[in-house]
Structures are given as C-alpha cells and as structure tokens.
C-alpha cells in the first residue's frame, strides 16, 4: 500500500481557485490512480478504529466519493447529506454560514436510526461549516457519531473547533 506521504505528493496545488488568493488542493490525481485511491479509502476507514460502523455519511459532492469507498470497504451503508432541494423525501434541514449569507444542508429523516454508529467523511476540513451542520443533523437523528474524518485539513482555518467532537481525524494536514 502507498502511504499518506505519497498521497501528499500527488495533490495538485491550483492557485486562485475558486477565487483569487486561494490555493486549492486538487485531489483528482489521487482519485485517478488506483493505488492512491485505495490508500485514501483505507486510511479514512482506519480512523474508525475497531468500532463497527453502521453507516458512513458523505457530504455532497466530493465527500460522496470517499464516503462511498469507505462504506464499500468496511461493509457499511452509505448516507448522503446534500444541499437543499436535492433529496426527494422528508428531510431534516440545517443552515450554516458562508462568507456571504448562508446555505442549507439536508438529510433524509429516516436515513439514520437512533443509536446507529456513524462515520462522517468529507474530503476537506476548511472552516468546518458544512461538516458542523452535518454533525448537528446527525445528532438531531440521535445518531452515535463515532468519528468525523477528512482526507485534508487546512489547520490555519481552525475548522476542527467548530465540530465540537472528540474524534476528528485528517489524513493530510496543511
């Protein structure tokens, strides 16, 4: 298996995306390489430790890629958290702040049963707004959130403190 260092060396820094001054961490070179993709899934799955996870929750849209891989690897179900209006059935909603204004994420109200063990997975921990909203949705459904795991954490943005959870993991820190 390849290592976290190999993942790091295959991330592509794209300047000024999505806007001037932002150095974007492009993960598509990792996704496109079978070994690196498998490693990223494996390392994210290992963040759950020995706990048997019932469902892996992924956040729209890049989070779906990693969360689906982890769910498949560990034999768990997959649950999507999506932007407002994308889920067809009855939902719980949670607003979160953006730089300007706010946005809303949703989860199906029957997506998680009380007490189910959940691993929340996303590609990137920046300010943590979306992941914090997803965490609140899961708590509203009485889920047991075992951990919140990211491929990449941008430490300077301090998103970890917004999550208010003892088990926040990231594979690559910048």
Q: What is the DSSP letter of 22?
A: -
155 annotated active-site: no
**Smallest distance from its own copies to CB 18, Å:** 7
Of the residues 6, 12, 62, 160, only one is catalytic, namely 62
Which of 43, 44, 71, 143 binds its own copies (CB under 8 A)? It is 71
Contact 13, 25 (CB under 8 A): yes
Q: Does 28 bind its own copies (CB under 8 A)?
A: yes
Toward its own copies, which CB reaches closer, 27 or 94?
A: 27
Counts of helices then strands in the chain (DSSP H, E): 6, 9
Return the residue of 4, 77, 104, 167 that touches its own copies, per CB under 8 A.
77
For residues 71 and 78, is the Cβ–Cβ distance under 8 A?
Answer: yes
Q: Render 38-100 in DSSP notation, one character per residue.
A: HHHHHHHHHTTTT---SEEEEETTHHHHHHHHHHHHHT-EEEEEEETT---S-EEEEEEE-SS
As measured in angstroms, the least distance from the Cβ of 165 to its own copies is: 22
Closest CA to 166 of 127, 126, 135: 135
Q: Does 174 help bind its own copies (rule: CB under 8 A)?
A: no
The span of 86-94, 125-133, 136-144, 166-174 binding its own copies (CB under 8 A) equals: 86-94
User: Cβ 63 to its own copies, closest distance in Å?
Assistant: 9
Active-site annotation, residues: 62, 99
């Amino acid at each position: 298996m390849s290592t976290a260092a190999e993942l790091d060396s295959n991330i592509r820094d794209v300047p000024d995306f999505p806007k001037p001054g932002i150095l974007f961490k492009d993960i598509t070179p990792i996704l496109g390489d079978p070994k690196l993709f498998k490693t990223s899934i494996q390392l994210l799955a290992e963040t759950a430790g020995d706990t048997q996870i019932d469902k892996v929750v992924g956040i729209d849209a890049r989070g779906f890629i990693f969360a689906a891989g982890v769910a498949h690897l560990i034999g768990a179900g997959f649950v999507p958290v999506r932007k407002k209006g994308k889920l067809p059935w009855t939902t719980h909603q949670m607003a979160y702040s953006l730089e300007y204004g706010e946005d809303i994420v949703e989860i199906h109200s029957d997506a998680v049963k009380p007490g189910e063990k959940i691993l929340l997975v996303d590609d990137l921990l920046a300010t943590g707004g979306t992941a914090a909203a997803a965490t609140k949705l899961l708590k509203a459904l009485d889920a047991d959130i075992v951990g919140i795991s990211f491929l990449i954490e941008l430490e300077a943005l301090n998103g970890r403190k917004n999550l208010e959870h003892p088990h926040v993991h990231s594979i690559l820190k910048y």
